[in-house]
A = this chain, B = another copy of it.
Amino acid sequence: MSENPLHLLMNPQSIATVGASNNWQKMGTMQSLSILKDGFPGKFYPIHPKEKVVLGHRAYRSVESLPEAPDLAMLVVPTNQVISLFESFGKIGTKRAIVISAGFKEIGAAGKNLENKLTEVAQKYGMRFLGPNCMGIINSQLPLNLTVSVLDKRPGYLGMATQSGTYITQTLDYLRKRGIRFSKAISVGNEANIDIVDALEYLGEDKSTRAIILYIEGLRRGRHFIEVAQKITPHKPVLAQYVGGSASGKRASKSHTGAMAGPDILYDGIFKQAGIIRLHSIEDLYAHGWTLATQPPLKGNRLGVVTHSGGPGTAISHTADRGGMIVPPFSEGLQKRIRQHIAVHASSANPVDMTFTTDTQLLTQTIPQLVMESKEVDGVIIHGPMGSSWIKETYPHVGNLIDISLDKLVEFLDSMDLSEMVSLPWKYEIPLAISCFSGRDDNYVKAYEDHDIPAFDSPEKAARAMVSLLRHKEIRDRKAIVAPKLPRKNKKAAVLIQEAMEKGQKALDEYQGKQILSAYGIPVTREILVQTEKEAAMAAETIGFPVVVKACCWQIMHKTGEGLLALNVQTQADVQKRFRSIRKAVGSDVPILIQEQIAGSREFVIGMTRFPGFGPCLLFGLGGIFTEAFADTTFRAAPLSLTEAREMIADIRAKKLTGPFRKMPAVDKAKLCSAIQTVGFIGLLHPEIAEIDLNPVLIEDDRPVVVDALMLLSPFP
Q: By CB atoms of chain B within 10 A, which of A217, A320, A356 has the most?
A: A356
The residues in A between 257 and 278 inclusive whose CB is less than 8 angstroms from any CB of B are 257, 264
State whether the Cβ of A531 lies closer than 8 Å to any Cβ in chain B: no
A148 — which chain B residues lie within 8 A by C-beta? 356, 394
The residues in A between 649 and 676 inclusive whose CB is less than 8 angstroms from any CB of B are 653-657, 661-663
Contact B458 A247 (CB under 8 A): no
A305 — which chain B residues lie within 8 A by C-beta? 252
State whether the Cβ of A106 lies closer than 8 Å to any Cβ in chain B: yes
* A631 and B349 alpha carbons, distance in the complex (Å): 32
Contact A318 B246 (CB under 8 A): yes
A143 — which chain B residues lie within 8 A by C-beta? none
* A165 and B167 alpha carbons, distance in the complex (Å): 37
* Among listed A30-38, A61-69, A505-513, A609-617, interface-contacting one: A30-38
A355 — which chain B residues lie within 8 A by C-beta? 102
A394 — which chain B residues lie within 8 A by C-beta? 30, 148-150
What is the total number of copies of this protein in its complex?
2
* Among listed A223-231, A321-329, A578-586, A689-697, interface-contacting one: A321-329
A311 — which chain B residues lie within 8 A by C-beta? 162-167, 215, 217, 243, 256, 282
CB nearest to A320 among chain B residues: B248
Size bracket, chain A contacts: 35 or more
* A107 and B251 alpha carbons, distance in the complex (Å): 57
Given A247-B326, A663-B561, A164-B309 contact (CB < 8 Å)? yes
* A311 and B164 alpha carbons, distance in the complex (Å): 5
A310 — which chain B residues lie within 8 A by C-beta? 164, 166, 252-253, 255-257
* Among listed A171-179, A468-476, A517-525, A640-648, interface-contacting one: A171-179
Given A317-B248, A397-B37, A459-B282, A345-B107 contact (CB < 8 Å)? yes
Report which of B166, B314, B402, B657 forms a contact with A217, defined as CB distance below 8 A. B314
State whether the Cβ of A426 lies closer than 8 Å to any Cβ in chain B: no
CB distance from A602 to the nearest CB of B (A): 8
The residues in A between 384 and 412 inclusive whose CB is less than 8 angstroms from any CB of B are 384, 386, 389, 393-394, 396-398, 401-402
A246 — which chain B residues lie within 8 A by C-beta? 317-318, 321-322
Contact A244 B173 (CB under 8 A): no
Contact A248 B318 (CB under 8 A): yes
Report which of B103, B217, B318, B439 forms a contact with A244, defined as CB distance below 8 A. B318
The residues in A between 451 and 499 inclusive whose CB is less than 8 angstroms from any CB of B are 457-461
Contact B243 A315 (CB under 8 A): yes
Given A30-B397, A30-B398, A461-B283, A657-B384 contact (CB < 8 Å)? no
CB nearest to A23 among chain B residues: B401
A439 — which chain B residues lie within 8 A by C-beta? 177
* Among listed A200-208, A533-541, A622-630, interface-contacting one: A622-630
CB nearest to A167 among chain B residues: B311
Contact A314 B249 (CB under 8 A): yes
CB nearest to A36 among chain B residues: B397
CB distance from A54 to the nearest CB of B (A): 11
* A325 and B257 alpha carbons, distance in the complex (Å): 23
A217 — which chain B residues lie within 8 A by C-beta? 311, 314
State whether the Cβ of A27 lies closer than 8 Å to any Cβ in chain B: yes
A345 — which chain B residues lie within 8 A by C-beta? 79, 102-103, 106-107, 111
Report which of B107, B177, B327 forms a contact with A252, defined as CB distance below 8 A. B327
* A244 and B102 alpha carbons, distance in the complex (Å): 52
State whether the Cβ of A347 lies closer than 8 Å to any Cβ in chain B: yes
A253 — which chain B residues lie within 8 A by C-beta? 310, 314
The residues in A between 302 and 318 inclusive whose CB is less than 8 angstroms from any CB of B are 305, 309-315, 317-318
CB distance from A323 to the nearest CB of B (A): 10
Contact B255 A353 (CB under 8 A): yes
Task: Provide a sorted-by-A list of 29 A–B residue pairs whose CB atoms are within 8 angstroms.
Answer: A24-B401, A30-B394, A37-B396, A79-B345, A107-B345, A149-B393, A150-B396, A162-B311, A164-B314, A166-B309, A217-B311, A217-B314, A241-B315, A244-B318, A248-B318, A248-B321, A248-B327, A251-B317, A251-B327, A251-B349, A252-B313, A252-B314, A256-B311, A256-B314, A281-B319, A282-B312, A560-B662, A562-B663, A631-B654
Complex A-B, nearest 5 residue pairs according to Cβ-Cβ distance, in ascending order? A164-B311, A249-B318, A256-B310, A246-B321, A561-B663
